Structure 1
Amino acid sequence: MTLVSETAKSASATGIQSGFHLLRKLTPLAGILAFLLAWQFFVVFWQVPAYLLPTPTQIGQVFIDEFPELLRHGWVTVYEMIAGYALAVAVAIPLAIAITSSRRFNEFVMPTMLFFQIVPKVAIAPLFLVWFGVGATPKILVAFLISFFPIVIDAAVGLRSMSPEMGDLARSMGASRLQIFTQFRLPTSLPYLFSGLKVAATLAIAGTVVGEFVGADKGLGYLLLVTNSNMQTALMFATILALTIIGFVFYYIVELLESFLIPWHVTHRVQETATM
């Protein structure tokens, strides 16, 4: 009887934990559904014209009907976004290593970096259009400029985060500069680096759209301009939805890579503990 009772209690506790886990997973979805229902009710109750604010159901229907068109333009935007982001990573990480290795180089290059970060990218995009035409290159460069700065700054902070005591301990054990970098400085910097990579992932899509706003003949940014000029509000919202989906997917791909490379970091251990 005691064994049966304990088994029943264990099964009941497992079921309760599973219920709480499912509830925690569904909470964000419930918030989104509540927002969409409020939006639908507001538009229907106040009889807002569709050209001003369509309902979520109308936007969803247009998204399904125009999916091939959205997909055709979406691939262009995704290519430009990934290319600009990859270029930012390829330039920012070596530059962060250089500026953390030499104080003189840091003082030499930092004012130029701040200049390009402060200058509005919308002001630079027309120059790229003049220099490189309406192809993919201007959009890639704008995405690069917007996503570059968070990566290099967070990577530099991470590379400087190793304590002096850890460096002294490594040198006392005979570690070379390369070994100190690969086995101590680089692993310590990864949480900071991925923080910058995730911020840059959300900015890369915005930079691509800015570049397409300035001059393009394809892409979701171009489609936004066309739908705006034609007063196709539902298709405009569907395009924004497509951009949002792309941004979400890209962000969570970077986060998945982070959890794979640094599962030991406190943020992932806290998430695992919370789901238990």
Structure 2
Amino acid sequence: MSLLRGVTLGLGLLLLWQLIVWLTQAPHFILPGPVRVLETLINQFPLLMKHAGVTLAEILLGLLLGTLLGLGSALSLVTWGSLRRWLLPVLVISQAIPVFALAPVLMLWLGYGMASKVAMATLIIYFPVTAACFDGLRQTPTGYLQLARTLGASRRTLLLQIRLPAALPAFGSGLRVAASVAPIGAVVGEWVGSSTGLGYLMLNANARMQVDLMFAALLVLAVMALGLYFSVNLIARRLTPWVSESTSSNFRGHSA
């Protein structure tokens, strides 16, 4: 049913798009119709895939680094109270600085290659993962911790076998947010300065009034972002099967 809803929603958006084109009578270099964009997508498919591969690599590397850094930071904040008192305010204050404003600085430091785009994606992913995982680790049921301490569990055992599994649902939520925002960091980095990637292709197509190519690149980016989100969602559900089963049973109960 979810697949059917997705297909229906996609077709409805395409029809709405075409209806807007008919009603406004906008020229194709302002608002191309879906058929024209599809033709461009087919004709320029090799070019689009070449740039999409670069953007996807930047997104995946940023997602991997941001997740590892976020998980490591969350574990450190929970393990060492003295570090938490110093690092947590820095993390909160860092969110007052727009990540996009750092893009020119990252270009200056890391160059116009892939490194600066990966850094952008990592920075935009880091805080949601850290915050979600830290909240999950802090909200471990006290009964579990008291029982484990009664049985003589060490701090390491408490962290790895009690706190971390209990934090997996929150960590999964952080990963879903990270998967949603990761493409933003990579594309913005490509807009600031790049010679490859979908962001560069869209910017270049816009400058040449090739709006159909820009829409085709945007469509590829959207499909790629959706695929990444649903892949991460699937992994998160596999890591927390008890959450999925509970949700399903509740849904069935409400439906009945």
Alignment TM-score, normalising by the size of structure 1:
0.87
User: Map of 1:181-260 to 2, 5 A cutoff?
Assistant: 181-260=159-238
> Cα distance, 1:273 vs. partner?
6.9
Match of 2:34 in 1: 56
> Cα distance, 1:145 vs. partner?
0.6
Match of 2:71 in 1: 93
> Cα distance, 1:174 vs. partner?
2.0
CA RMSD in angstroms comes to 1.8
Match of 1:156 in 2: 134
Identity of aligned residues (%): 35
Is there any run of 5+ residues in structure 2 with no aligned partner, and where? none
SS in 2 for 1:264: helix
Q: Kindly indicate whether the alpha-carbon contact (under 8 Å) linking 1:116 and 1:145 is maintained by their aligned counterparts in 2.
A: no
Ranges of 4+ aligned residues in structure 1 off by more than 3 Å: 271-276
Supply the distance in 2 between the matched residues of 1:197 and 1:238 (Cα, whole angstroms): 27
Letter in 1 for 2:21: V
Supply the distance in 1 between the matched residues of 2:102 and 2:93 (Cα, whole angstroms): 12
Letter in 1 for 2:92: L
> Cα distance, 1:39 vs. partner?
1.6
> Cα distance, 1:32 vs. partner?
2.2
Supply the distance in 2 between the matched residues of 1:142 and 1:220 (Cα, whole angstroms): 15
Per-residue Cα deviation, 1:108-157 (whole angstroms, up to 9, x for no partner): 11232223322112211111111121111110111011010000000000
Q: Kindly indicate whether the alpha-carbon contact (under 8 Å) linking 1:73 and 1:220 is maintained by their aligned counterparts in 2.
A: yes
SS in 1 for 2:242: coil
Letter in 2 for 1:258: A
Q: Kindly indicate whether the alpha-carbon contact (under 8 Å) linking 1:117 and 1:146 is maintained by their aligned counterparts in 2.
A: no
Given the superposition, is the C-alpha separation of residues 237 and 195 from structure 1 closer, same or farther in structure 2, using an over 3 Å criterion?
Answer: same
Supply the distance in 2 between the matched residues of 1:99 and 1:142 (Cα, whole angstroms): 23
- Over alpha carbons, which structure has the higher Rg? 1
Q: How many residues are treated as equivalent by the alignment?
A: 253
Q: Kindly indicate whether the alpha-carbon contact (under 8 Å) linking 1:77 and 1:209 is maintained by their aligned counterparts in 2.
A: yes
Match of 2:242 in 1: 264
Q: Kindly indicate whether the alpha-carbon contact (under 8 Å) linking 1:70 and 1:220 is maintained by their aligned counterparts in 2.
A: yes
Supply the distance in 1 between the matched residues of 2:163 and 2:135 (Cα, whole angstroms): 11
Pairing 1:168–2:146 present:
yes
SS in 2 for 1:118: coil
Alignment TM-score, normalising by the size of structure 2:
0.93
Match of 1:72 in 2: 50
Given the superposition, is the C-alpha separation of residues 150 and 49 from structure 1 closer, same or farther in structure 2, using an over 3 Å criterion?
Answer: same
Match of 1:145 among 98, 123, 130: 123
Match of 1:122 in 2: 100
User: Map of 1:19-38 to 2, 5 A cutoff?
Assistant: 22=1, 25-38=3-16
> Cα distance, 1:270 vs. partner?
2.5
Supply the distance in 2 between the matched residues of 1:254 and 1:236 (Cα, whole angstroms): 27
Per-residue Cα deviation, 1:212-268 (whole angstroms, up to 9, x for no partner): 111101001101110110111111111111111111111111111112211111x45
Given the superposition, is the C-alpha separation of residues 222 and 272 from structure 1 closer, same or farther in structure 2, using an over 3 Å criterion?
Answer: farther
> Cα distance, 1:107 vs. partner?
1.8
